[in-house]
Amino acid sequence: MSTRTKVAVIGSGNIGTDLMIKVLRLSGSLEMAAMAGIDPESDGLARARRLKVATTHEGVDGLVALDEFADVRIVFDATSAGAHRRHDEVLRALGRTVVDLTPAAIGPYVVPPVNLDAHLDSSNVNMVTCGGQATIPVVAAVSAVTPVHYGEIVASIASRSAGPGTRANIDEFTETTASAIEQVGGAGRGKAIIVLNPAEPPLIMRDTVHCLVSECDDAAVTASIEAMVERVQTYVPGYRLKQKVQFDRIADDDPLRTLVPADARRGAVKVSVFLEVEGAAHYLPAYAGNLDIMTSAALRTAERLAAHRPMEAAK
């Protein structure tokens, strides 16, 4: 009898399919039991069938009706913020744990190397956004050394890696990411910007993080950021710094000073971090690091949830 925790995926698009492949190929503690979608002709459902994974094209209602669902303990939702609200209601009533890859933010924000251990007993955890997963670890690393008065991130992704779900959730992306920069990253104020780059050939995901801080120890901040990058690389190998961390002292006449509280402006510094995220290409192309970091973070989260509750049975 398998001792692995059975999981299901709702959403047969790019993110859901990549997540299924990761569970099947990479996880020693999770077992892929079922995939639910709403398009019977989707590539994701076709792949799942070929891989002997139970499928349904009737969404969450079809999922809970499958015999295989009886033993499922964790469900990944890779659909949309709007759809997730109902999915959460249905799954919560059935006692399942939900890992939410949409920007719905019904459950607490989780970024694995920053705050996962604080939410292992939650019934629903939210994976923020791709930009959040890439940049919030850096904001948290800076705030671990010195207060971050303002944190701004710019996520630049290949237009071809932004499918219908991503495009439908653009507003939620900016709002959810900005909120998580504050709540998880520790910034006093957060802002998020996303850029869909139409360049051909498609460019690998790039992220820029700016943190406004009071006078700081440059070496200590750099060491904290580099240590955090190494932690993210344990589950996203293609996550890396593109250049050294930059420190710019903010001049008295620089408008950025207005984003720093008046009593903290003396010696104010802008810390800039430039990141690149290359995908593992399990299902998605390598340039789609924005999608890969989401599925990788969700996989790491589910594995920790399962390990935290090894004897728990599905209700």
7, β-bridge pairs: 32, 74
Residue 163 annotated as part of some ligand binding site: yes
CA 254/CA 182 separation, integer angstroms: 23
31 Cβ contact list (under 8 Å, min separation 6): 2, 4, 5, 6, 7, 23
Residue 129 annotated as part of some ligand binding site: no
Q: Of 84, 16, 74, 9, give the one whose Cα is nearest residue 291.
A: 16
Q: Of 150, 107, 149, give the one whose Cα is nearest residue 125.
A: 107
Give just the sign of the alpha carbon dihedral 113, 22, 276, 77: negative
Residue 164 annotated as part of some ligand binding site: yes
Residue 166 annotated as part of some ligand binding site: yes
Residue 126 annotated as part of some ligand binding site: no
CA angle 196, 202, 206 (to 5 degrees): 60
CA 117/CA 119 separation, integer angstroms: 6
CA 262/CA 275 separation, integer angstroms: 30
126 in Cβ contact with 100 (< 8 Å)? yes
Residue 13 annotated as part of some ligand binding site: yes
**Active-site annotation holds for 216:** no
Residue 161 annotated as part of some ligand binding site: yes
Catalytic residue among 60, 64, 130, 302: 130
Residue 82 annotated as part of some ligand binding site: no
Q: Of 107, 178, 111, give the one whose Cα is nearest residue 140.
A: 111
Q: Provide the CA 290 distance to its chain's centre, in angstroms.
A: 9
Length of the chain: 315
Q: Per the annotation, where are the binding residues?
A: 12-15, 161-169, 290
Q: Per the annotation, where are the binding residues for NAD(+)?
A: 12-15, 161-169, 290
Residues marked as catalytic: 130
